Amino acid sequence: MAVVTSTSKNSAAPITLGSILLALSGDTLVYVPNNGDELVLYNTTATAVPVTIDGSAGTTVSVPGAAGATLSVAAGLVVTVAANSFAYVALDKASAFLNGTVSIVAATGAVVRAAIVTQY
């Protein structure tokens, strides 16, 4: 059980990102609304890996311009990270999925590292 490391990009010098290796359960991330945080995921395996980001209080959200339609965010946001590649999530753009305690998990047997870059 670990918390995804957050590193500020507000530096004149190069920065080194701290990261955690995602587990099947128990890992979390701290989301600060409107902070400009960016989640970076790195898949070190030879196959694509789904990573699920799920806030414990996510239910449904209204869809603007859709005549009152709603969208369920209860199952979380699934980000598929291609083999031997990075994926990027602007957390403020995915805020509907990040209410409550936010868990982040990788699929069985996956080797995915996660880091958050913040502007502050």
Return the residue matching tokens 């590193």: 7
Domain for residue 98, yes or no?
yes
Tell me, what DSSP letter sits at residue 43?
E
- Considering its fold, how many domains does the chain have in total? 1
Measured distance CA(96)–CA(99) in Å, rounded: 7
The parent domain of residue 62 ranges over: 6-10+18-118
CATH number at residue 73: 2.60.290
Q: What is the mean pLDDT of the chain?
A: 92
pTM exceeds cut of 0.85: yes
Question: What is the pLDDT, as a whole number, of residue 68?
Answer: 84
Write the single-letter amino acid at 110: A
Write the single-letter amino acid at 119: Q
pLDDT tens, 73-94?
999 999 999 999 999 999 999 9
Domain for residue 1, yes or no?
no
Bridge partners of 7, per DSSP, are 117
Domain for residue 94, yes or no?
yes
